[in-house]
């Protein structure tokens, strides 16, 4: 009888892993799948650089600012129920995006996609953790991470192939049959679970959403209005002021969505600053280079996606080696080296970019950048979780995921603003004139990320506790050994656990 129960449990765990991994694949894929379709979308629906930026940023921004709220909603109202709701919304928004008659409608439905992903994605690992025993959970999480990694690597290629051989609308139609299959499977195979004490920080969500929207809106409008225009200055100043209120809220609230006291630890501050700057430089560069390969060099969408694989796909090959290096030497030197290599790759591309350049000339920069990306990704999640206590890992993982998405949105906006100031879409030469300085900015951001990663304390010998995991400041600034602000205690078994790394 026990053997039959164990077999049933294993079967249920397999279903949970399959459902959550496929859902995670869809959400991760939609971060980059649109990049190689941007020239075709511009040709089909019209619009300029600003609209193309919002086509990407509408998804990443809503994903980022609602990620931790989505996790809390699932914990409070039912993880399976909210997972299915997010999946249904994501699927419906994908169909609506494919049917969009204009660029404004596409941007709106991309934002709705981001809302669905923000509700769905944080609950994937919670569902895995509830269904799979601790002794098998590491292997399950490794499979989940590999699947989402493949989604990131294959995004430009899948987007390019569908755009060239069918139409750009199929980068969104692809999600619909998958979602329709997953929904009944989730209803039948996932078990409902709750953490009814999970706090909801509506005020924090509103503040961070308004602040980031103001800054991104201002950056996107620099091309048409200029840096000193009232629209741009108002957006930058008001957005920064509202983000200041969000920081103040995170310092004073009892249960903020992003507790600012976490950043008093060097390890947590270092890895999160590095993550934000890495995504700023990388995501903004992918946004421009995926278009350069088509508009500047004349490659088809499929050819552009294939030629980006040495960069976006390198983590699949190098990650196992990076993991071994991290185990032996610690995460900090691997992350710093990875960020340095990513910066070198971007800088090399900026040096050699030209409308007539061959693919052989591009390859070294793509490979160096890809190796750097792999060295960063492999130990990053472990560094985030090791920077905090076990009961803090859920909020720490959610914060890191959100900051990475914010970095991506800012990267597209900042590098596109540089591109618009120095170049444009008028000719391949004009495209190069704008892309080269933008790549230098991207490389500089990643260099700053490497410097930020140096804040992470070096690995200590076994048995030595990191100072970042010792005393924590109390809500009034006093030192409290082993306690959080607001009388923090060990996590209740029904409280939310770690949430996934969203790519």
User: Per the structure block, which two tokens stand in for 48?
Assistant: 């300029």
Nearest to 399 by CA among 498, 490, 277, 468: 498
Q: How far apart are CA 54 and CA 49, in angstroms?
A: 9
CA angle 148, 152, 153 (to 5 degrees): 115
In 33-78, alpha helices (H) = 38-45, 49-77
Q: How far apart are CA 33 and CA 429, in angstroms?
A: 26
Provide the pLDDT for residue 294: 86
Could you write out the DSSP letters of every residue in 477-496?
S-EEET--TTT--PPPTTS-
Q: How far apart are CA 72 and CA 75, in angstroms?
A: 5
Could you write out the DSSP letters of every residue in 420-471?
HHH--SSSHHHHHHHHHHHHHHHHHHHHHHHHHHTTSPPPPPTTPPPGGGSE
- Residue by residue, pLDDT tens for the chain (503 residues) are 444 344 334 457 888 889 988 998 888 888 778 888 888 998 898 878 888 888 888 998 888 888 888 888 888 888 899 999 999 999 999 999 999 999 999 999 999 999 999 889 888 877 877 777 767 766 776 677 777 777 877 788 888 899 988 999 999 999 999 999 999 999 999 888 877 776 788 898 889 888 888 888 888 787 777 788 898 899 999 999 999 999 999 899 888 878 888 888 899 999 999 999 999 998 889 889 988 988 888 888 888 888 888 887 777 778 778 778 877 888 889 999 999 999 999 999 999 999 888 889 999 999 999 899 888 887 887 788 778 777 676 677 778 878 888 888 888 888 988 998 888 888 888 889 999 999 999 999 999 999 999 998 876 533 344 444 444 444 333 333 333 444 344 344 344 444 444 44
If you count them, how many residues does the chain have?
Answer: 503
Query: What spatial distance separates the first Cα and last Cα of the chain, rounded to whole Å?
Result: 42
Give residue 330's Cα distance to chain centre. 24
Residue with tokens 């921004």: 61
DSSP tag of 356? T
In 221-357, alpha helices (H) = 222-225, 230-252, 266-291, 301-307, 309-312, 314-329, 331-352
DSSP tag of 260? G
Cβ-based neighbour number of residue 330 at 10 Å: 17
Provide the pLDDT for residue 8: 37
Residue with tokens 């992350």: 335
Nearest to 394 by CA among 498, 494, 493, 489: 498
């Amino acid at each position: 009888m026990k053997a039959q129960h164990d077999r049933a449990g294993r079967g249920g765990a397999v279903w949970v892993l399959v459902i959550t991994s496929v859902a995670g694949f869809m959400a991760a894929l939609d971060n980059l799948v649109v990049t190689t379709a941007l020239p075709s979308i511009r040709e089909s629906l019209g619009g300029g650089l600003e609209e193309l930026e919002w086509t990407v940023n509408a998804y990443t921004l809503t994903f980022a600012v609602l990620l931790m709220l989505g996790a809390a909603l699932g914990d409070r109202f039912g993880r399976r129920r909210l997972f299915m709701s997010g999946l249904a919304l994501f699927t419906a928004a994908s169909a609506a995006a494919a049917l969009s008659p204009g660029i404004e409608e596409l941007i709106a439905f991309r934002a709705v996609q981001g809302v669905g992903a923000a509700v769905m994605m944080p609950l994937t690992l919670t569902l895995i953790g509830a269904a799979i025993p601790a002794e098998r959970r590491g292997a399950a999480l490794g499979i989940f991470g590999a699947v989402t990694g493949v989604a990131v690597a294959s995004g430009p290629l899948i987007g390019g192939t569908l755009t060239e051989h069918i139409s750009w609308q199929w980068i969104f139609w692809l999600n619909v049959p998958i979602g329709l299959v997953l929904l009944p499977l989730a209803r039948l195979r996932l078990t409902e679970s709750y953490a009814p004490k999970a706090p909801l920080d509506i005020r924090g969500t509103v503040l961070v959403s308004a602040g980031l929207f103001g800054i991104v809106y201002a950056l996107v409008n620099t091309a048409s209005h200029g840096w000193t225009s009232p629209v741009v200055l108002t957006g930058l100043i008001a957005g920064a002021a509202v983000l200041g209120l969000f920081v103040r809220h995170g310092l004073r609230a009892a249960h903020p969505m992003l507790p600012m006291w976490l950043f008093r630890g060097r390890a947590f501050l270092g890895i999160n600053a590095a993550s934000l700057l890495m995504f700023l430089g990388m995501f903004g560069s992918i946004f421009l280079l995926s278009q350069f390969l088509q508009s500047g060099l004349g490659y088809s969408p499929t050819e552009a996606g294939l030629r980006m694989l040495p960069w976006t796909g390198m983590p699949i090959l190098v990650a196992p080696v990076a993991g071994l290096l991290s185990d032996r030497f610690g995460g900090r030197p691997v992350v710093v080296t990875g960020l340095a290599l990513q910066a070198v790759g971007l800088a090399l591309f900026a040096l050699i970019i030209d409308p007539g350049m061959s693919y052989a000339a591009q390859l070294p920069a793509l490979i160096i950048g890809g190796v750097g990306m792999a060295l960063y990704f492999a130990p990053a999640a472990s560094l985030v979780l090791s920077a905090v206590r076990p009961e803090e890992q859920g909020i720490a993982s959610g914060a890191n995921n959100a900051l990475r998405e914010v970095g991506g949105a800012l990267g597209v906006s900042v590098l596109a603003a540089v591109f618009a100031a120095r170049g444009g879409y008028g000719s391949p030469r004009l495209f190069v004139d704008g892309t080269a300085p933008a790549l230098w900015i991207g490389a500089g951001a990643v260099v700053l990320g490497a410097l930020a990663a140096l804040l992470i304390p070096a690995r200590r010998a076994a048995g030595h506790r990191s100072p970042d995991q010792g005393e924590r400041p109390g809500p009034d600034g006093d030192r409290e050994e082993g306690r959080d602000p607001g009388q923090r205690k060990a996590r209740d078994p029904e409280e939310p656990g770690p949430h996934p790394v969203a790519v």
